[in-house]
Structure formats: structure tokens, C-alpha cells
């Protein structure tokens, strides 16, 4: 049996017209000889009546301090509504489908409400349904604890994670992630009009792009697929475009019906906004100062990024909502520091950059040509990032996209 997992995001199930498009994708998979497992997100985005954020607001109207168990139980409702409506739509068109919660589909998690981790997937029931010609329509984003049968949610990007995990457990031929864009792009098209759709990209590259701000797919889902070497596709529900293949090897970008091999060794430019940069003085004779600083930040629940550490200085960035807590930690610990607000991070990602001379020179020259000050850089084998002022973000992304010939 050839199994395919097809995940559809909130916009793909939000209207009757969209759900008919989903039905067409499911029928096409059946015609191609696959047994589909459908995974759905909650219907619509914030403001829509059954969107997860809307349900949360309804609960907080009753009690702003909601118990985490009740919060997870409520957040599961959006996907349950979506799976029932999508199953009913498929049934209307003669497709034998059955709605399942994450727990009914066999997704067993730990009991960390709001950010549960999948411990196991019991696929026997899903396999019986598939062998009987029934298409499971599974609630994404959720699972169930093993012993006390409590609903749990998987955190941000949970529906992508559900689809990847089901694909791995079922030994699926591939996982398709359907959304409202035609694939993974070389940059955010809202910032760079000339951004191109990538025909193929490696697991590692798309993870780096996601961690650095690209929002098409969650990196945890990609990591699960990478662990099982399952090909993933990012496609549009609303077109027949081939989408982007995520696999073990990087590829090129799409130009009509041709594939353009990436001349620059880079695959894309990603960006994050709403950052605050801190520069902290360190005493070079106090070897414990840096350790104490980061222990204190961790104890306060503050996650830092873009970290540079030397004898005399530490530099890092936090998201703006963490600014005041960071300042409190630094003040209480007696550190001298400079706080740079209104910052952004721009990153060039590409596994083929590894060991290539001149990559940093190209990066720095592109920003210098636009008179964009680099406040800080951080790099790895596959990523070069810079902290810049947020007012320069669009120019920075555009300049790097052009300089790296994306």
C-alpha cells in the first residue's frame, strides 16, 4: 500500500470553496494510487469563529488565569470542528472518510500541556481504516496522554508536526504540506517582489530558514521527516503548481517550467523582526561572569539568540516582549550594558556556502552598498546572519537577495 499524508492549513479548510479544493487534492492522490491520510488545522486564522485564537479569547473571557489542562482541551476543539467538517465534505462527494482526534489516530504524547512531545504513534487503527478504503481525517496539533487520556497540544506548528510524525510512523511515501502559497520562496515575497519559488531544498536548509524567520513550515516537522528520510512537499491548495520538494539534497529555484541551478551557493534569505540587541561589558578577569549571566537569563525564562561572547563583551538579541525582563536581570546582577531597540535579523542560508571563500565579503558588501550598519554578525557552516536596525530590514533583505543571485 502506497501511503501519502496530506496536511491542510487553516486557510485551506476555512470555506466551502477551499474545502472543495482540498477534496480535489485528495481525489488526485487516490487516482495516483495512494491511500491518503488527511491532517487538518483549525478553520481560518485569528478572528475567524473557529480559529484557535478565537477559542482562546472566548475561554479567557470566563477566566484570564486558565488551567493548562482546560486550555489544551479547548484548543483541540478547533481541529475537531475542522476534521468533522472536512470529513463531511469528502463524504458528500462519495469519498469514504472518517474524522479522528489526534488520540484516536494513535498519537500518544507526554503531559506537557501546550508544548507536548510525541512519545509514540500507534498506527494499527489507521492501518485498518486504510486497508478498508476509509480515509482518516486527523486533527493536527494534538495528541493524548497514554494513561489518563487527556487532550494535549503540540505547540506552534503542531499540525505540521502531526503530519510529519504520522508520515514517519506509517512509513509513508511522502508528506504534502498544503498552504496558501505555491512553495518555499527565496525570500518573503512581501519584502522582495522578485522572490522565486524553490524547486528543491534540503532538510537542513529549510530548518535554518524556519529558525531564522521563514514561516512556511515548522522546523520540528522537517526534523522528523529528515530522521526518517521522508520526502516532504510544500504546495498550494489552490493551484496545480509542483511546489517545493524538501529532501536530503538542496536544489534550485523554479523559473517557469525550468529549474535554475543556484549560482550563488545560497538558497534563500530569511528575516526576523521585533528584536532588541544587548551589548554587555564583561570583566576579563572574572571568568564566571559570563556563565552567571546566562544562567540568570535562563532562570528568568529568557531565550537569547545571535550570541557573541568574548573576554570583554557579550552580545545577544531577544524578542521585544522579553526586553524588560532582560533589563531586570542585568540590573539586578550589576552588569553595564547598552540596549539597542528596534532591531531585526537578516540571514542568508545555504548548505553549499560551506567552505566557499568570499561569502562573508559578499554579505558585508551588499549591506554596505545600501549604507546599512551591521550591529552584529553570527554565522555557521550554512548560515550568515546580521543584526540591523528594523528600519533597514526591507533594503537589507532585498540587497542580499540580489547580491546572492537568488
Specify the pLDDT at position 88: 97
Helices (H) and strands (E) in the chain, counts: 11, 20
Instruction: Report the predicted TM-score, pTM, of the whole model to 2 decimal places.
Output: 0.86
> How does residue 216 score in pLDDT terms, banded at 50, 70 and 90?
confident
Residues 164 and 302 occupy one common structural domain = no
Q: Are residues 179 and 286 in the same domain?
A: no
Full strand arrangement of the beta sheet holding 142-145:
118-121, 107-109, 142-145, 151-153
Residue 373 has pLDDT above 90, yes or no: yes
Q: Alpha helices, DSSP H only, in 192-333? A: 203-211, 219-228, 289-299, 323-333
**70: phi then psi, degrees, rounded to nearest 5:** -65, -35
- Could you say which DSSP state residue 275 is in? E
Query: The domain that contains 197 carries what CATH number?
Result: 3.40.1160.10
Please spell the DSSP secondary structure of 301-341, one letter per residue. T---EEEEE-SSEEEEEEEGGGHHHHHHHHHHHT--EEEEE
Is residue 136 within 8 A of residue 126, CB to CB? The reply is: yes
Q: Would you place residue 264 in the very low, low, confident or very high pLDDT band (cuts 50, 70, 90)?
A: low
Q: How confident is the model at residue 23 (pLDDT cuts 50, 70, 90)?
A: very high
Mean residue pLDDT of the chain comes to 90
**Binning pLDDT at 50, 70 and 90, where does residue 251 land?**
low
> What pLDDT score was predicted for residue 259?
40
Is 20 in the same domain as 38? Answer: yes
Mark which of 261, 285, 312 sits at the end of a domain: 261
Same domain flag for 198 and 58:
yes
Q: What pLDDT is recorded for position 128?
A: 97
- Per-residue pLDDT for 44 more than 90? no
Centre a 10 Å sphere on the Cβ of residue 291 and count the other Cβ atoms it contains.
10
Q: What is the CATH number of the domain that holds 307?
A: 3.30.2130.10
Q: Are 25 and 161 in a shared domain? A: yes
95 alpha-carbon distance from chain centroid: 31
**Same domain membership, residue 248 and residue 140:** yes
Please count the residues of the chain. 406
One domain for residues 304 and 387: yes
pLDDT digits (tens, 9 = 90+) for 320-358: 999 999 999 999 988 999 999 999 999 999 888 887 888
Domain range spanning residue 163? Answer: 3-261
Domain finish residue from 212, 232, 261:
261
290 shares a domain with 170 = no
Whether 297 has a pLDDT exceeding 50, the answer reads: yes
In this structure, the answer to whether residues 222 and 278 fall within a common structural domain is no
pLDDT of 214 reads: 85
Count of domains forming the chain: 2
- Distance between alpha carbon 163 and the CA centroid of its chain, in Å? 13
Q: Which pLDDT score, from 0 to 100, does residue 255 have?
A: 44
**221 & 288 share domain:** no
71 or 118: which leads in pLDDT: 118
Comparison of pLDDT for 256 and 111, the residue scoring more: 111
pLDDT of 260 above 60 = no
Helix (H) or strand (E) holding 161: helix 158-170
Q: Examine the domain organization and report whether 308 and 245 are in the same domain.
A: no
Q: At which of 197, 228, 261 does a domain end?
A: 261
Residues 159 and 206 in one domain: yes
Amino acid at each position: 500500500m502506497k501511503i501519502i499524508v496530506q496536511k491542510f492549513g487553516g486557510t485551506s479548510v476555512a470555506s466551502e470553496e477551499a474545502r472543495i479544493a482540498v477534496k480535489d487534492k485528495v481525489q488526485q492522490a487516490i487516482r495516483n494510487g495512494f491511500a491518503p491520510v488527511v491532517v487538518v488545522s483549525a478553520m481560518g486564522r485569528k478572528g475567524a469563529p473557529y480559529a484557535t485564537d478565537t477559542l482562546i479569547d472566548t475561554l479567557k473571557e470566563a477566566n484570564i488565569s486558565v488551567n493548562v489542562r482546560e486550555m489544551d482541551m479547548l484548543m483541540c476543539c478547533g481541529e475537531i470542528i475542522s476534521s468533522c467538517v472536512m470529513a463531511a465534505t469528502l463524504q458528500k462527494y462519495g469519498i469514504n472518510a472518517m474524522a479522528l482526534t489526534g488520540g484516536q489516530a494513535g498519537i500518544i504524547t507526554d503531559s506537557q500541556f501546550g508544548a507536548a512531545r510525541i512519545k509514540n504513534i500507534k498506527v494499527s487503527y489507521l492501518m485498518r481504516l486504510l486497508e478498508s478504503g476509509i480515509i482518516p481525517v486527523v486533527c493536527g496539533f494534538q495528541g493524548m496522554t497514554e494513561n489518563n487520556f487527556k487532550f494535549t497540544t503540540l505547540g506552534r506548528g503542531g499540525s505540521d508536526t502531526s503530519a510529519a510524525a504520522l508520515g514517519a510512523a506509517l512509513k509513508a511515501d511522502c508528506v504534502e504540506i498544503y498552504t496558501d502559497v505555491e512553495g518555499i520562496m527565496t525570500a518573503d515575497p512581501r519584502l522582495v517582489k522578485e522572490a522565486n519559488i524553490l524547486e528543491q531544498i534540503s532538510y537542513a536548509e529549510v530548518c535554518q530558514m524556519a529558525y531564522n524567520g521563514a514561516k512556511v513550515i515548522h522546523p520540528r516537522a522537517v526534523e522528523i521527516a529528515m530522521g526518517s528520510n521522508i520526502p516532504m512537499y510544500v504546495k498550494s491548495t489552490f493551484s496545480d503548481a509542483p511546489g517545493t520538494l524538501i529532501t536530503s539534497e538542496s536544489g534550485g529555484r523554479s523559473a517557469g517550467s525550468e529549474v535554475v541551478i543556484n549560482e550563488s551557493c545560497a538558497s534563500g534569505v530569511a528575516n526576523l523582526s521585533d528584536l532588541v540587541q544587548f551589548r554587555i561589558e564583561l570583566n576579563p578577569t572574572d571568568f564566571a561572569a559570563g556563565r552567571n549571566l546566562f544562567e540568570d537569563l535562563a532562570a528568568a525564562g529568557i531565550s537569547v539568540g545571535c550570541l557573541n561572547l568574548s573576554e570583554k563583551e557579550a552580545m545577544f538579541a531577544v524578542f521585544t516582549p522579553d526586553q524588560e525582563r532582560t533589563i531586570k536581570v542585568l540590573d539586578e546582577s550589576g552588569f553595564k550594558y547598552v540596549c539597542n531597540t528596534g532591531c531585526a535579523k537578516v540571514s542568508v542560508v545555504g548548505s553549499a556556502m560551506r567552505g566557499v571563500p568570499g561569502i562573508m565579503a559578499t554579505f558585508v558588501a551588499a549591506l554596505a552598498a545600501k549604507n546599512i550598519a551591521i550591529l552584529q554578525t553570527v554565522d555557521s557552516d550554512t548560515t550568515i546572519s546580521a543584526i540591523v536596525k528594523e528600519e533597514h530590514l526591507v533594503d537589507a533583505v532585498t540587497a542580499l537577495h540580489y547580491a546572492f543571485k537568488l
